[in-house]
Chain A
Amino acid sequence: MGVTTDRRRPLHVLLVEVPGNGAARIALEAAAASAGHVLATHPAESDVLLVCGTPGPEMRTVIDRVWDQMPYPKHRAALTSPDEIGTVFTTAQDSLTDRRAQRSAAREDGIDGRHLAEDGPDHEHPNDEHPDDTDESMHEHDMPMGGHDHMSMDHMSMSGPGGYPLADGADDRDGLEMDVLHRRLGPILPVWPAGVILDVTLTGDTITDASASVIDVDDHKRGEPQSGAASALDQAAQILAVAGWDAVAARTLRVRDLAVTGRRDQARERIRPLRRRIERSVMLRWSLRGLQVRPDIDVRTVLLTRLERADAALNGRQFEPEPATPVDEIPSLVKGRDIGSARLIIAALTVFPMPRADSADEVGTTRRHQHG
């Protein structure tokens, strides 16, 4: 793909990865970057919603909800085969510049001019604008939370912003009373393991309770854990992006794109200086202090190991693949941390998409031989 001509404007693309389509997503990101398009971090800033792979039923609901939150002009496409990569952006741009169609679609949505987010009974997407309080009142009815049941009635009668009750309060780790919010992080979130859903209880911005699951757990194409230079660099770039070092994350992604598009010799040239830069950075080391993923491994070590793995893969050496973490272990790693630290820890994990019990089975077979 060539560089955009002046007629073609850069798009902000919200890329949704259906679990098991990591390679396709990386290829799509490389194509987008070479065409000058930008990856969006929020539906509010994006023009195009691109789904990589064929989503399952739950994923489809989530994707529809994200689609609703995007402002017009917008375009939506699904990428099911690698040959579509070449045309998907030009189709998107043609669709976006068709103002009449966009306007009539906006009018059909029943909203004129401004886009007002609607609420729904359950929230599966964290980037939505629904007040979190709805979740809380719903949960208070469903979950046996002792001591809260008598409060829920009072809260339902109070009207808060938008007609929803206000959040409860609870003490956080410093002893200050903060609002208790129940949020669902994922499955569509920038720099997030595909398909993972983390339901958290936030007091302020500290996670006091969490439970993890995988979307469409029965419907998985059992993707093999990624190996190779491209995926190692992709994972390293994820840590760098969440850690806030956008410049070096961009360089890592550039090396990844070189590796993916077959220019491995250029990738090989660039990876050594990149590794040196990251290793020598005192500010990164200082900023990332105190984030243990396992008792003896912290986030920075994981980052450096991933870069080493990528270097080895580019130069034809063997290297141990990163041990995968079952989804069920995530809550114990993030409880008690603030949301930024939790995101860094999760970015430093390779999340195995299946829950531990299913790991030895194919999808759909019974689990008889797991017992005993």
Chain B
Amino acid sequence: MATIVFWVAAVVAVLAAAAVFRVDSMARATYALAVSFIAVGVTVLVLHLDFIGVITILMMVMEMAVMAVFMVSYMGMNPALMPMDMTHSKRPAAVIAAAVFVGLAAAALFIPWPARAGTAAADTTRALGEAIMSSKMLVMLTISPILFATIIAALVLANPRGRYDRLGDDLQNAPADPEPGGVGR
């Protein structure tokens, strides 16, 4: 059963990824990519890594939806259906892709993977987390809010309209926004 699900998910992932470059529209390419990632997430679920599988699906769908927001910001609302060619430098790309595929396939087939010693842990996600991060868990927990704050700070700094544009040179005026924000800052 798990083998069947794995193979179906694998085939869907590869076909959807190929579809990204064959379809005629940015929106379709985006969602073909989302389907491909969902299939990869299903593959991870088959390995009983539930948390990682579901989080992969969640993050990838969210990213594709956010890409729709970015499509507005940087391309106009242009994901229309029209024949388009998204590939560049086809020959070097094909060579590199083929080389990487051969390399990864060779690694997957010829590396002597160790056999399982003992039985699988009850909570494979926890076991995986401890194997990867073990003593550094607290560091990782502390870093994530710092990353969050860094992203927000970067956005604030990148905003072309700063406090002085909004509030005047001595920061005394009422905010001059085209649309007043909800809190009245």
Contact = CB atoms under 8 A, between A and B. Distances in A.
A253 interface: no
B160 interface: yes
Which of A158, A177, A338 has the most B CB atoms < 10 Å from its CB?
Answer: A177
Contacts of A177: 74-76
A42 B37 CA distance: 38
A178 to B, nearest CB: 5
B76 A179 contact: yes
B81 interface: yes
A341 B82 CA distance: 33
B73 interface: yes
Given A158-B82, A161-B82, A336-B178, A175 B160 contact: yes
Range class of the B interface residue count: 10 to 19
Range class of the A interface residue count: 20 to 34
B61 to A, nearest CB: 24
Nearest to A165: B82
B180 A178 contact: no
Interface string B156-185: 000010000000000000000011101010
A318 interface: no
Given A176-B72, A179-B76, A179-B77, A290 B82 contact: no
Nearest to B177: A290
B77 A204 contact: yes
B82 A178 contact: no
Interface string A179-207: 10000000000000000000000001000
Given A160-B82, A161-B81, A178 B72 contact: yes
Nearest to A158: B82
Contacts of B73: 176
B150 interface: no
B182 A166 contact: no
B80 interface: yes
A167 interface: yes
Interface in A139-186: 158-161, 166-167, 169, 173-179
B78 interface: yes
A178 B76 contact: yes
A221 interface: no
A14 to B, nearest CB: 28
A289 B182 CA distance: 9
A336 B178 CA distance: 8
A97 B99 CA distance: 67
Contacts of A174: 178
Contact of B182 (A173, A175, A286, A341): A286
A154 B18 CA distance: 30
A179 B78 contact: yes
Interface string A273-312: 0000000000000100110000000000000000000000
Contacts of B80: 160-161, 166
A319 to B, nearest CB: 31
Given A169-B76, A176-B72, A159 B82 contact: yes
A114 B83 CA distance: 26
B44 to A, nearest CB: 36
Contacts of A336: 178
Contacts of B78: 166-167, 169, 179
A204 B182 contact: no
A286 B181 CA distance: 10
Contacts of A286: 182
A167 B82 CA distance: 12
B77 A173 contact: no
B180 A289 contact: yes
Interface in B51-86: 72-78, 80-83
A358 B100 CA distance: 76
A290 B179 contact: yes
A286 B74 CA distance: 31
Contacts of B182: 286
Interface in B132-170: 160
A178 B179 contact: no
A11 B182 CA distance: 39
A93 to B, nearest CB: 40
Which of B74, B83, B179, B184 has the most A CB atoms < 10 Å from its CB?
Answer: B179
Interface of B: 72-78, 80-83, 160, 178-180, 182, 184
Given A159-B83, A169-B78, A178-B77, 10 more contacts: A160-B82, A161-B81, A161-B82, A167-B76, A176-B72, A177-B75, A204-B77, A289-B184, A290-B180, A336-B178
Closest 4 CB pairs of A and B: A169-B76, A290-B180, A179-B76, A161-B81
11 contacts: A160-B80, A160-B81, A160-B82, A161-B80, A161-B81, A175-B160, A176-B72, A177-B76, A178-B76, A204-B72, A336-B178
